Structure 1
Amino acid sequence: MTAFDKYLHAVIVRATHEARDDGSATVEAHHLLLSIAAEREAIAHQVLTSAGLDHRAVRDALDREFEHSLRTIGVSPAAFDLPRPSRASEQPRMGASARLALERSFSSVVRKKELRPAHLLLGILQAQVGTVPRALALAGVDQAELVDRVRQTLSNEDE
């Protein structure tokens, strides 16, 4: 098992816990992002924190995105005392946005042995639509600039 395989496994395990805690039946890209933000060892975590996105900041951005989405359809979260989601009883399965993020990550290299943690972050951040781009925009994060930081980090690692 390569170092990246171990990293990916750890990220997916943490993302599964994030999904269960959210009461989600699926692990989505935003759960992967939360997991990366919690991983303190990898360069991908450092790129996120350099943009002010530690685990708490990512969670706050996702909460703002959820509230914003509810307001878009005319529901005011402040008008209701919404309970925290109950923890999912089933093991969450990989959702569409997470699968797409993984595909983008893997397709960003020619050979699997070239994969590094920052490639996983890049795959998540390259999404043009969905929860992650909306949450980043609401948090005031320039997604294109963050993608450029990840690419620059990968470039520096290659040198």
Structure 2
Amino acid sequence: MRTFGKTAGFGKFVEATVEGGRAEARESGSATVEAEHLLLAIAAGQDKTSRDVLGAVGLDHDSLVSALEAEFVHSLRAVGIGDLAQELPPPTRSVEPPANLSASAKLAIERATSVSANRLQPAHLLLGIVRAQVGTVPRALELAGIDRGALESRLLDALTEEPGHDR
């Protein structure tokens, strides 16, 4: 598996997205940067293509936070403790952002690099996140009523139309 960081040949926008993911993970009290943290960073980031595609299906940072919270409660219910979700204290914000990327984040980046022959951009990373078949993000998008196939199609269309982007 590749190592990911500033020396991995990322574009400056993807480096900023990973840093945004670190901040999102810190806010949520997570010990690692997960794919959902990268997704939240993309939704709050500067990449117009990604934000426009997410917006076209009704997603922004706040709606993604809500979808991820719904997924958390749904997962607790699946194991029989959903009623405890309201009683849990808010996550403890870390002092430092986590340095390590989780398997879900690394796989999203690998899927993104497999579709980008040129410089990796956040829209490629968004595609890598959306293409996950299992995990928190696919469950959250399903619970939010998002058609992932339609989202992927919109993203591929946008990548094709953007100058300097590839599929």
CA distance in 2 between counterparts of 1:22 and 1:123 reads 22
Q: Does structure 2 conserve the Cα–Cα contact (< 8 Å) formed by 1:25 and 1:90?
A: no
Given the alignment of the two structures, is residue 101 of structure 1 paired with residue 111 of structure 2, yes or no?
Answer: no
Uncovered stretches (5+) of structure 2, i.e. residues with no partner: 1-5
| Residue number in structure 1 paired with 2:123 | 118
Higher helix proportion (structure 1 or 2): 1
Offset at residue 155 of structure 1 (A): 1.5
SS, match of residue 11 in structure 2: helix
- One of 92, 95, 99 as aligned partner of 1:86: 92
Given the alignment of the two structures, is residue 22 of structure 1 paired with residue 28 of structure 2, yes or no?
Answer: yes
- One of 9, 13, 34 as aligned partner of 1:7: 13
Give the letter aligned to residue 100 of structure 1: L
CA distance in 2 between counterparts of 1:101 and 1:30 reads 10
Uncovered stretches (5+) of structure 1, i.e. residues with no partner: none
Offset at residue 154 of structure 1 (A): 1.1
| Residue number in structure 2 paired with 1:133 | 138
Offset at residue 90 of structure 1 (A): 4.8
Give the letter aligned to residue 115 of structure 2: S
RMSD: 1.9
Offset at residue 32 of structure 1 (A): 0.4
* TM-score of the two chains, using structure 2 as the length reference: 0.86
| Residue number in structure 1 paired with 2:3 | none
Offset at residue 130 of structure 1 (A): 0.3
* TM-score of the two chains, using structure 1 as the length reference: 0.90
